[in-house]
Structure 1
Amino acid sequence: MKTQTPTQPSYFVPEPLDNTRLAHLCGPLDENLRQISSALDVTIFRRGEKFIVSGANAERATELLERFYAVADKVVPIEEVQLALVEQRAGLKPAIGEPAGARKPAAPEAGAKTAADGDAGADDDAAGGTEDDEELVSPMLKTRRSDLRGRTPHQIQYLKAVLEHDISFGVGPAGTGKTYLAVACAVDALERDAVKRIILTRPAVEAGERLGFLPGDFAQKVDPYLRPLYDALYDLLGFDRTQKLFEKQVIEIAPLAFMRGRTLNHAFVILDEAQNTTAEQMKMLLTRIGFGSKAVITGDVTQVDLHKTQRSGLVDALHVLKDVRGISFTHFSSADVVRHPMVARIVDAYEKAAAIQEIGALPTTSVNRNARKKP
């Protein structure tokens, strides 16, 4: 019987020793260390200034500790730690304290396969790997957030697709940045004067509830459905600037039901929660696109709130438009989730449960059918 060789622990001793930087690295009540330990499945012990890291990804965790300590002259927020862990999980080198455009591939996780495992990857390595490096460079967007960039390969691909195509689809689970990055591209286009206005639209479908009559004027009735888009605008433009652009109708809120008959010229159109559109609504929106306009359609096909008898317009569009030239499709997975690390695990758990339920239903059905045939 073959015995597995235990992984050697990795050690990190901060140099030069600074108690303030050490406190910033660990975070309040060692919260930063817990985040790294949980995300990389390692154990981190600290004895004074010495860190002992054990586990399959001990070296990667040690590298993170070194990089965070180098910039720990100020408080290291937990959000920055979580974003760095997302980039580690996606195989990118976290740009801690580096310019937003400096993107480099990181060492893969233990047991993970990379493009270099195949013949094509070997050829790329022999050529210097310049094409892969270029693909991992995130586009720079002109927004209030100077640190905004694609955190995973799929997010970088999504940003490039939106910038290079007139119509783009972003499909994937919650927390993968579909809506936020779409709004960032819209703000970037507006700031660069590539478009004259931003139009935000979303189907007014409740998530499994019946809210009934909503008081207020037109804007107040649709505001609850478009709140995620508002939040992204406030973050990227600031509250005051966003309000002024709303007053000038440079940014427009347009419920999907009232888009019929319009022609949207020189506009950046974002359709959010597209999985809750019908096939007719999706066709109607896509045929509104005018000259000098862009459209981004985002949605999660696993969270459809339509009636069971209705086919999702997003699912239908992915099938109908897959061969149409000039339209891009970006598919996200749980590896692209840029939220609390638990969100990625929750998405994985639901996907695994759904797969098991789907596979398990087939034998059960066949057994029941055979049982009925027996006398």
Structure 2
Amino acid sequence: MTTNIIHREISFADNGQAGTLYGELNKNLIALEKSAGVSINARGTDMRISGMPHDVELVATLVEQLYGLIGKGYPIYSTDFAFGLKVLESNPKARLDKIFLDKVYVTTHNRVISPKTRNQKLYIDAIRQNDIVFGIGPAGTGKTYLAVAMAVSALTSGQVRSIILTRPAVEAGEKLGFLPGDLAQKVNPYLRPLHDALNDLLGPERAFDLIEQEIIEIAPLAFMRGRTLSNAFIILDEAQNTTREQMKMFLTRIGFDSRAVVTGDTTQVDLPTRSQSGLLQAKKILSTIEGISFCSFSKVDVVRHPLVQKIIHAYEKSKS
């Protein structure tokens, strides 16, 4: 029995960029071999890809497009191989430059934040074009991180004067009353992921300074009641744990020259009954209003550790 193994030869220009593509000690190619199920032999500017026809063509398209991105000044990361492979698996004709070159923000460590999947790109575009955007999908799809990156970008470019980050303080198996400390200390663990995103984007010192100056505010959702939030970029995270009343309260806080992003995972509702979720109800009630956009993510958009996507898939499969 013979296997339908094919070989594909690729030659890159002798401009030193092939080494950037390969990574130190060819680590990028080694990881790509494992994830794509092909064999890659690279020497200098020449590469030979061997494997099943579909896999070989997919990898050839990937490396050629990533090489082209390097030529356009894109600072390629090892994770881009996995992200790019997922994009091309879902659409072999996709252009990675249309996604990866959309620079959202550059961190204090000169790391370029950009969308890594088609849905992330649509999400970024929606935030730019609408005053209220809902990002709904599983953990690890970049909903909150990209929203915070867009908020920081808007602040540093002078589009808004402040950033407000908020979450409902809903117990996920714990009771707040049994936690030590005052109210601020009790709710701080719920707000930690927002602090982490800011620290990653701005650096801990800069983030702390902006919080101290109240240019950036991180607070439980209950603290938003009665306020009008103008000239601000507002993010409501973990919105699946808002009630209908809380969601309405939040959305009606938005003032002039402000924009809001609401993120949540409707499969992780911690309310007594799933039907109470303000996020689920908002999707039904508000989906036809102009100026409000709903963006959906799935497990193919997961940009965390590769195992996260497999874990999400396993849990989804267990329900069937």
Q: TM-score, normalised by structure 1?
A: 0.71
Corresponding residue number in structure 1 for 2:55? 57
Cα distance in 2 between the residues matched to 1:294 and 1:316? 20
Cα distance in 1, alignment partners of residues 68 and 93 from structure 2: 31
Is the CA contact 1:273–1:299 (under 8 Å) kept in the aligned structure 2? yes
More displaced, 6-15 or 281-290?
6-15
Find 1:88's aligned residue among 85, 91, 97.
Answer: 85
Distance 2:68 2:150 in 1: 32
Aligned residue in 1 for 2:153: 188
| Structure (1/2) with the larger strand percentage | 2
Looking at structure 1, the residues matched to 96 and 67 of structure 2 have their Cα atoms a distance apart, in angstroms, of 26
How many Å separate the matches in 1 of 2:292 and 2:66? Answer: 40
SS of the aligned residue for 1:329 comes to strand
Residue 58 to residue 139, structure 1, CA distance change in 2 (3 Å):
closer
The 2-side partners of 1:141 and 1:113 are apart by 23
| Secondary structure at 1:254 match in 2 | strand
Given residue 169 of structure 2, which amino acid in structure 1 is its aligned partner? A
Matched residue of 2:273: which SS? coil
Does 2:38 align with 1:43? Answer: yes
Contact 2:239 2:262 (8 Å CA) reproduced: yes
How many pairs are equivalent?
310
Cross-structure match for 1:6: 4
CA displacement 1:141-165 (0-9 Å, x = unmatched): 3442552111112111111111111
Tell me which residue corresponds to 2:267: 302
Does the C-alpha gap of structure 1 residues 288 and 338 become closer, same or farther in structure 2, counting only changes over 3 Å?
Answer: same
Query: 2:165–2:217: 8 Å Cα contact kept in structure 1?
Result: yes
The verdict on how the C-alpha distance between 1:34 and 1:302 changes in structure 2, with shifts beyond 3 A counting, is farther
1:174: which partner in 2?
139
Quick one: structure 1 residues 303 and 37, their matched pair in 2 at CA, closer, same or farther if it must change by over 3 Å? farther
Change (3 A) 1:165 1:37: same
1:349 alignment counterpart: 314
1:338 and 2:303 matched: yes
Question: What amino acid sits opposite 2:286 in the alignment?
Answer: L
Query: 1:217-296 maps to which residues of 2 (within 5 A)?
Result: 217-296=182-261
C-alpha separation between the residues in 1 aligned to 2:40 and 2:97? 38
**Runs ≥4 residues deviating over 4 A:** 11-16, 45-52, 62-72, 112-116, 132-139
Distance verdict in 2 for CA 1:304–1:25, change over 3 Å: same
Identity, % of aligned positions: 47
Rounded to whole Å, the distance in 2 between the matches of 1:212 and 1:51 is 62
**Cα-Cα RMSD:** 3.7
The whole-number CA distance in structure 1 between the counterparts of 2:42 and 2:27 is 16
Q: Unaligned 5+ residue runs, structure 2?
A: none
Q: Tell whether 2:104 aligns with 1:141.
A: yes
In 2: Cα distance, 1:147 partner to 1:317 partner: 33
Task: Name the SS for the 1:269 alignment partner.
Answer: strand
Structure 2 counterpart of 1:208, one-letter code: G
Distance change >3 Å, CA 25–CA 288, structure 1 → 2:
same
Alignment of 1:205-220 (within 5 A): 205-210=170-175, 212-220=177-185
Tell me if the contact between 1:33 and 1:44 (Cα under 8 Å) persists in the aligned partners. no
Whole-angstrom CA distance in 2 between matches of 1:68 and 1:4: 33
Counterparts of 1:258 and 1:8, CA distance in 2: 62
Contact 2:28 2:81 in 1 (8 A): no
Unaligned runs of 5+ in 1: 92-108, 117-131, 357-375
